[in-house]
Amino acid sequence: MEAINFLEDDNPFNDPFKYHPFKGMAFPPTDYIGPDDPRETDDLTKLQPINGLRLKFVHGYSARNGLTANSRSNLFYNKDGRLVYHAAALGIVYDKKTHEQWHFHGHDDDICSLDMNKKDMLTIVTGQLGKEPKILVWSSRPEPGSRHLPLLCLINGDHKRAVIGVAFSANGQFLASIGFDNNRSIAIYQWGKDKSMEKMRVGVDKGHTDDVYCLEFNPVTNHVVAGGKKMLRFFGLKDGAMSDIEAEARAAAKSGQSHTPVLSDTESKIWAKKGTFGSDRGAQDILSLAFDDKGCTYAGSGLGEIFRFREQAQDLCVKAHPLPDGSTGWPAANAFCRVTALYYGPRKSKNVLISSGDDGWILMWDPSSWDDVMRTKKKIDPIERFNLNQYVSAGLEGTITKMDDKEFDKPNPLKGTPAAALSLNGDGENLLIGTMCNEIYELSLTFKSPPTCYMQGHFDELWGLAAHPMKAEMVTAAEDNTLRVWDLKNMTIQAMTVLPGPSRCACYSPKCTNGVWIAVGLGGGDKDCRTNGKWLILDSIKLTEVFAPPQVRFERCCDIKFSPDARWIAIANADNGIDVYSVPAPDGSKDGLRRVAKFEGHSSFVNHLDWSVDSMKLQTNCGAHELLYWKLYDEPKKGVFKWRPHQEKSSSSMRDEQWATQTCIYGWPVRGVWPEGADGTDINGMSRSNTGSRELVVTSDDFGRVKLFRYPCIVPFAGHKPYSGHSSHVTNIVFSFDDRWVVSAGGEDVAVLQWECVKEK
């Protein structure tokens, strides 16, 4: 048979072409008619019924993520009784009564720190990650008749890498911040709307040479206090720091007098003093801070003790959080664990100190009685205890409890409970608790009733995302070893299960099965993980294991999808291969899972795959920017298909193939999604709409952007609508079955963003 030359046919417009960064040839379909083809447009304005996205809800809370050190003391009640916190690059205001959110969009990278002005209880300050990170002051109350949270002030230029701590003074006029540069530079500002940096900056100086975990303003003494690795340090403004040198010089000259400023231009305006620990201990790791109404500083240490400082000297030490007994895998109970969070505030008619530790207990203390107890040489005990471990899923994983680097090198380092808090804040009646595992709880200060959980989210790198084929539901799977099912209509978590290892992909079984199963592929960034390459099928409601085929590959699963007819399931692997298994019928009328095809041919890890509408073919792309095709059968002869799994090397023969999904990021129909200068790794995920003419496609990229394009997207560097909210690489994205929602997954920001599909002007 004579070979076909695809460059010689009756249509001069459907010749193949190359485009960057795709390494193959893009073949237009045979019905493509060139520049006059109606598909040659990137105009979104006339599409019906949707042509835009609006952020509706953020599933997540940033206490712990993969981008920065833990974010502490970042959860507050504002004046309106709403919760204020952050996730990804968004400031979030949450109404617990209506389950509604407002979002502050001013940041362009991960928010690392947050504080609230205690005077007006509305003004918020947030600091972010970045080469030259921004500090933004904004209001947590929307503008009248709007959902917009207004920006009040921008501060930048004094920090590098990240702003790891921010704090308001008691009167709300001053701001302190600390950066992640080598000197952990501390800055103090007298902030104001429309003020220049020169007018706002009071002073900048060195803060510490090692990790800093917390930064607070003492509301009584007006000193700034920072806690960190083997460090408690106090900062303040020197005499003359607030002087207007130019104004004073003019006044002196006017009166015929000379003027000598208190501080020279080169002299630091900030003083610093080290906290003095007891001689029996020496400097300790300080993870949390609180202040009483007399100005005493309470510091939670890495060894389970609460230190009290009067002025800058320790005068009292309380052993606070003992390790649980050996039955939970902890050491003997004579040891103590980190005090991870502190809060001082009213409870009924009395002020109390509340602490949390790696033991997962919330302890309430009466500091006003400590001096009397110490005089009697009795042991100081908490006045109330609450075991939060009873309400947090035991399968979640806490953080390493010891602060030394040697602990990280151990194969099984000692870890705290997932109920340990990084943020505590109260309103006199209730206590907000932000945990290590990115969950938000509210606990009555009576400590007599179960807590209410307002937010749950992933806490390690997130990649796996899929939509239910028939319901407003999605599933996510992450490297925190959890799989979670979300209700998109009610914007809540529906179920969660702990997996035997990290995961980066998941999918539902197709519509013909009513989505009864969830398949999940295991494996993550750790190449030595024993579950890499393993995959499971779970019941989509109970999340119990249905099938666990033998492990035949030992690098991570990158993508997994059922065929549209539910006869097959394909698994793409980081070892450059793809496996296809036969799938039993949900009613048990077929045999169990069996590997029926093994495809090899990619030059790098296979990261996306799509099934053809007829369930007989696959398209896959890999890290080497290839797009390859695979067939389970030979072309039919006399209407009979012969089973022969093989690679289809003639890409031109696949130009008219209809694909059930479009998650592969290369090919003719998605040429235009690639921006100019892209290197091939910029786009991580893609999804085509599901209803009508399927005229939309969304992408998720390395720059924190979600982008909406027209589909097919064949105009080079096509026009699109970009949306921000994520702070790092957006790893995956998907349309819901009815195209009412788009859901995106943030990799290291671990947030799940739910976007409403809308009609924009």
Q: Band the pLDDT of 202: cuts 50, 70, 90.
A: very high
404 pLDDT band, cuts 50/70/90, is: low
Q: What range does the domain containing 440 cover?
A: 336-456
In this structure, the answer to whether residues 577 and 668 fall within a common structural domain is yes
Q: Which two tokens stand for residue 400?
A: 């390493």
Burial of 393 (0-12, 13-18, 19+ CB in 10 A): middle
Q: Where are the alpha helices (DSSP H) in 543-698?
A: none
Same domain (yes/no): 597, 626: yes
The pLDDT confidence band at residue 278, using thresholds 50, 70 and 90, is confident
586 and 735 both lie in a single domain: yes
| Number of domains within the chain | 2
Please check whether residue 519 lies inside any domain of the structure. yes
Closest CA to 593 of 583, 601, 602: 583
**Phi-psi sector, 130: left (phi>0), alpha (psi -120 to 50), beta:** left
Higher model confidence: residue 411 or residue 549? 549
Residue 514 has pLDDT above 90, yes or no: yes
Domain boundary among 456, 483, 517: 456
Task: Kindly state whether residue 449 falls inside one of the protein's structural domains.
Answer: yes
Task: Name the region of 138 (left: φ>0; alpha: ψ -120 to 50; beta: rest).
Answer: beta
pLDDT for 472-502, tens place per residue? Answer: 999 999 999 999 999 999 999 999 999 999 9
Mean pLDDT lowest among 46-55, 112-121, 522-531? 522-531
Residue 694: CA count within 13 A, CB half-sphere: 14
Looking at the DSSP bridge assignments, the partners of residue 357 are 339
Q: Decide which of 433, 456, 479 is a domain's last residue.
A: 456
Supply 525's token pair. 């960034």
Residues 609 and 745 in one domain: yes
Q: What is the pLDDT of residues 602-641, one digit of tens each?
A: 999 999 999 999 999 999 999 999 999 999 999 888 778 8
204 in a structural domain: no
Distance set, CA 706 to CA 164, 623, 709 (Å): 26, 21, 10
Q: Would you say residue 188 lies in a domain? A: no
What is the per-residue pLDDT across 407-452, written as a single tens digit (0 to 9) for each?
A: 666 667 778 889 999 999 999 999 999 999 999 999 999 999 999 9
Would you state the pLDDT for residue 86?
97
- Are residues 580 and 718 both part of a single domain? yes
Residue type, 554: F
Whether the predicted pLDDT of 8 surpasses 50 = no
Interval 243-260 mean pLDDT: 64
| Mean pLDDT score across all residues of the chain | 91
Q: pLDDT category, 373, cuts 50, 70, 90?
A: confident
> Do residues 556 and 590 share a domain?
yes
**CB contact burial 400-439 (16+ within 10 A = b; e otherwise):** ebbbeeeeeeeeeebbbbbbbbbbbbbbeebbbbbbbbbb
With respect to residue 31, please indicate whether it lies within any of the assigned structural domains.
Answer: no
Neighbours of 276 (CB within 10 A): 14
Residue 280 has pLDDT above 90, yes or no: no
Contact 319, 339 (CB under 8 A): no
Same domain, 431 and 547: no
In a shared domain, residues 413 and 495: no
Any idea what the Cα angle at residue 222 is, between residues 369 and 161, rounded to 5°? 110
Give the bridge partners for 138, in sequence order: 124, 151
Position 626 in a domain: yes
CA distance 258 to 242: 19
Q: Are residues 449 and 547 in the same domain?
A: no
Tens-digit pLDDT profile for residues 72-95: 999 999 999 999 999 999 999 999
Query: 687 and 549 in one domain?
Result: yes
- Looking at the fold, whether 447 and 469 belong to one and the same domain comes out as no
CATH number, position 716: 2.130.10.10
Residue pair 86/45 in contact by the 8 Å Cβ criterion:
no
pLDDT class for 526, splitting at 50, 70, 90? Answer: confident
Lowest mean pLDDT among 128-137, 145-154, 208-217, 325-334: 325-334
Last residue of a domain, one of 456, 482, 507: 456
- pLDDT at res. 5: 46
| Domain annotation covers residue 174 | no
Structure tokens, 318 = 């309380």
